[in-house]
Amino acid sequence: MEMDLIQLIGIMLGSNSIVGIVVAIITIKYQKKKVQGEAHSAQYEGMKVEQDTYQELILDLKGAWKEQKEYIEELHEDRRNLRREKDEQKKQIDDLEDKIEKQQTQISRQQTEIDDLKRIVNTFKPLICSQVGCNTRQSDIIGLISDDSFD
């Protein structure tokens, strides 16, 4: 544009005619419109590039949002599975605790039976000894059983 302007000024000064001045004015207007059109075109191109950038950003954000949503859904599914497993394990623990309690009750009953049997054995122990002169045999002292009956 500077070169065109310098040329126009040269034409105006060089030709002292009205036709040269009119041509110069028309050329200046044309150059001004041309420059404005190029500016609008550049501005439009800039806006188009900006819009394309925003569109790509929106698509990227939509993709990232979709990935995050899928990841969150996977986490929810994992949490549901872990809760289900925890509930199953708690049920198994409760069942095992019930079994242990029943077995402890059974062991307690059996221990009571064993203690009862020990008392019975201790009660009959003096009557069981079959050797003559056995110190634990109290039946000789009482005189209920003779030593000859065990020979």
pLDDT digits (tens, 9 = 90+) for 109-142: 999 999 998 888 877 766 666 666 666 555 544 4
**Torsion, CA 133, CA 138, CA 142, CA 145, rounded to 10:** -60
For 138, phi and psi rounded to 5 degrees? -90, -10
Give yes or no for a contact between 118 and 111, defined as CB atoms under 8 angstroms apart. Answer: no
For 9, phi and psi rounded to 5 degrees? -65, -40
Instruction: Compute CA 27 distance to the chain's CA centroid, rounded to the nearest angstrom.
Output: 72
pTM: 0.44
**C-alpha triplet 104, 110, 115: angle, nearest 5°:** 125
- Residue tagged 């030709």 (tokens): 15
